[in-house]
Amino acid sequence: MTDPFVLRPRRAAAASGAPASPLQVDPAFGALAEHCADERVTDIFVNGASGLFVDRGHGAERVPEWRASEREVRDLAVALVGLGGRHLDDRAPCVDVRLDSGIRVHAVLAPVSTSGTALSIRVPRVRAADLGALAALGAFDAAQHAWLRTLVAERANVLITGGTGTGKTTLLSAMLAAVPEAERIVTIEDVAELRPPHPHHVALEARQANLEGAGRITLAMLVRESLRMRPDRLVVGECRGEEVRDLLTALNTGHDGGAGTLHASGLADVPARLEALGALAGMDAPALARQVVSAFTVVVHLARRPDGTRRVVQTGRFMLDGERLGIDEVQPW
């Protein structure tokens, strides 16, 4: 070795403001590669040997020329999951993984999937790296844009809600891009999808157990570990279980500027969803209500319109409704 080993900071393209590179599709996608390369396609579904469906923004459409056997679909699923560093077999028949390209693959093997191996592939299409780009796409108006920037600047704790494919992760990533560069962001996800163009972002990802059943790392464990990493912004990509207890504890002990996302079909459904998650963590409704009201400043709810546009449609603030959690719809901008 001619030069001494010296640690040097790496200047990532995202941190320098350079445009994202085009989506790179691995050859392992085989016949699905052409659909991944189609700029209109956001989701791809393979239902065993029964058929292939793609979503071009107007719902799932069958691809009539698709032909594949159950063995071919299973081999494809195993190969794609392997690209993400996880394993798919009879002992681990349900796996979710993110590839280096940003494509997210979820696979379920037969007989758990009774119709044959099921593949659900999410292809990242939104090139909006910040709030300004999202505003240009119609995700929110000028007043909402200014308000979202104020939330980031004032270190508000934000919960972003919405259904599947409504743009929760995209909005959260754009808000994190507006965080001052001197602040340290730690994100925690089951499958790492958040990629904010920020120079001080640390991503933690849950890990499935190995073939011997050991080594599993849960979201709740990662939330606890992250508190030792001195985060200025603590973010849980999606609350779906007992990790909600640890996130609420963190946000109630001085960790301002945090955020999380939650699946919910409407703003009014959010309290019930949180109560269900709290029950998984052993929290009763009154305890959860007090923790949530103290932890989150605002709720931002997204929806996807029939034309494929994803927009901020409701905002709210948590409040106590007796001993239970309630929510009021507000328009603070």
Q: Structure pTM?
A: 0.77
Average pLDDT, the chain: 87
The mean pLDDT of 76-97, rounded to a whole number, is: 91
Confidence of residue 2 (pLDDT cuts 50, 70, 90): very low
Q: Decide if 48 is inside a domain.
A: yes
Confidence of residue 14 (pLDDT cuts 50, 70, 90): very low
- The 3-state DSSP class for residue 142 equals helix
Asked if 108 and 166 sit in the same domain, the reply is: no
Asked if 70 and 173 sit in the same domain, the reply is: no
Asked if 69 and 190 sit in the same domain, the reply is: no
Q: What is the CATH number of the domain that holds 310?
A: 3.40.50.300
| Residue 284 confidence (pLDDT) | 94
**Last residue within a domain, chosen from 76, 105, 122:** 122
What does the chain come to in residues? 333
Q: Decide if 2 is inside a domain.
A: no
Q: What is the CATH number of the domain that holds 114?
A: 3.30.450.370
Q: Decide if 223 is inside a domain.
A: yes
Q: Which domain holds residue 53?
A: 27-122
Q: Decide if 53 is inside a domain.
A: yes
Structure tokens at 188: 């925690």
Asked if 299 and 225 sit in the same domain, the reply is: yes
The mean pLDDT of 196-223, rounded to a whole number, is: 85
- The 3-state DSSP class for residue 232 equals coil
| Residue 273 confidence (pLDDT) | 94
Side chain identity at 301, as an amino acid letter?
H
Going by DSSP bridges, is the β-strand pair 52-55/60-62 parallel, antiparallel, or unpaired? antiparallel
Q: Where are the beta strands (DSSP E) in the chain?
A: 43-47, 52-55, 60-62, 94-98, 104-108, 118-122, 158-162, 185-189, 201-205, 233-236, 259-263, 298-304, 310-321, 324-329
d(CA 123, CA 88) in angstroms, rounded, equals: 20
Phi and psi angles of residue 267, each rounded to the nearest 5 degrees, phi first? -60, -40
| pLDDT at residue 220 tops 90 | no
Tokens 């308000």, residue located: 147
Asked if 288 and 147 sit in the same domain, the reply is: yes
What CA–CA distances, in Å, run from 150 to 146, 230, 303? Answer: 6, 23, 22
Q: What is the pLDDT of residues 146-190, one digit of tens each?
A: 999 999 999 999 999 999 889 898 999 999 999 999 999 999 988
Asked if 135 and 220 sit in the same domain, the reply is: yes
Q: Decide if 4 is inside a domain.
A: no
Q: How far is CA 284 from the centre of its chain?
A: 27
β-bridge partners, 315: 300
Confidence of residue 330 (pLDDT cuts 50, 70, 90): very high
Asked if 146 and 190 sit in the same domain, the reply is: yes
**Last residue within a domain, chosen from 72, 96, 122:** 122
Confidence of residue 223 (pLDDT cuts 50, 70, 90): confident
**Last residue within a domain, chosen from 122, 143, 171:** 122
Asked if 170 and 313 sit in the same domain, the reply is: yes
Asked if 31 and 146 sit in the same domain, the reply is: no
Asked if omega into 111 is within 30° of 0 (cis), the reply is yes
Query: Which position has the higher pLDDT, 24 or 325?
Result: 325
Number of structural domains (the chain) is: 2
Structure tokens at 212: 């011997």
| Residue 10 confidence (pLDDT) | 42
| Residue 128 confidence (pLDDT) | 57
Q: Decide if 8 is inside a domain.
A: no
Asked if 116 and 138 sit in the same domain, the reply is: no
Q: What is the pLDDT of residues 98-121, one digit of tens each?
A: 888 889 899 999 999 998 999 999
Q: Decide if 140 is inside a domain.
A: yes
Asked if 324 and 266 sit in the same domain, the reply is: yes
| pLDDT at residue 12 tops 80 | no
Asked if 280 and 170 sit in the same domain, the reply is: yes
Q: Decide if 194 is inside a domain.
A: yes
| Residue 39 confidence (pLDDT) | 86
The mean pLDDT of 23-30, rounded to a whole number, is: 82
| Residue 13 confidence (pLDDT) | 39
